[in-house]
């Protein structure tokens, strides 16, 4: 219903008041029915709008760890916040990277993703820091180490048996 442009002058007559009230009622009924129809159509379309959003959620199907030698795979996965079945989120992957890096176990970490039928497969490539092992390389160093260990053991036995002071061990350890 559209307004035809006629203006009813304000007066005290009952006829004008009745006409004004009747037009206002129709206008209210008309706009209320339009609002209800629009609301009803939005409610009908709401499930259709949410289904594609759920279908677009990408899941992490699997997490594979590569390159670990000393540190178990389960330990590496336990340091990650993302688990198989979670929604794929780039911010979570960055947080997983930082969590693994902050352990101090690795000198290189790389996380890659691969599409699959069930979602993303995350490949975590790690390179562990080397363990520090100082072993004597020459025969002379090995004999010197063996001699010092034997003397130290002898001093410890003397201390226990005869209550000899700590002079013996302090000389050997210097």
Residue 123 contacts residue 64 (beta carbons within 8 Å): yes
Summarised one tens digit per residue, pLDDT across range 1-51 is 555 555 555 554 555 555 555 555 554 555 666 776 666 666 666 665 554
Taking the alpha carbons of 97, 100, 102, 104 in that order, is the dihedral positive or negative? Answer: negative
User: Is residue 36 left, alpha or beta, with left meaning phi > 0 and alpha meaning psi from -120 to 50?
Assistant: alpha
Query: DSSP of 71-110, one letter per residue?
Result: S-HHHHHHT-S--TTSBP-HHHHHHHHHHHHTTS-EEEEE
| Residue 121: DSSP 8-state | E
Residue 84 contacts residue 102 (beta carbons within 8 Å): no
Summarised one tens digit per residue, pLDDT across range 64-83 is 999 999 999 999 999 999 99
pTM across the whole model: 0.47
| Count of C-beta atoms within a 10 Å radius of residue 15 | 9
């Amino acid at each position: 219903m559209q307004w035809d442009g006629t203006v009813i002058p304000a007066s005290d007559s009952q006829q004008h008041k009745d006409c004004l009230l009747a037009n206002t009622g129709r206008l209210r009924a008309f706009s209320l029915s339009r609002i209800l129809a629009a609301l009803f159509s939005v409610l009908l379309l709401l499930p259709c709008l949410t289904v594609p959003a759920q279908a677009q959620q990408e899941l992490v199907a699997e997490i594979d760890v590569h390159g670990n030698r000393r540190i178990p795979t389960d330990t590496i996965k336990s340091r990650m916040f993302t688990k198989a079945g979670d929604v794929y989120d780039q911010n979570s992957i960055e947080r997983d990277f930082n969590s693994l890096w902050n352990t101090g176990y690795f000198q290189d970490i790389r996380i890659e993703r691969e599409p699959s039928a069930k979602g993303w497969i995350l490949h975590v490539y790690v390179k562990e820091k080397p363990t520090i092992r100082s072993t004597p390389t020459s025969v002379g160093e090995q004999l010197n180490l063996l001699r010092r260990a034997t003397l130290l053991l002898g001093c410890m036995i003397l201390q226990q048996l005869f209550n000899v002071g700590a002079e013996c061990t302090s000389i050997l350890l210097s």
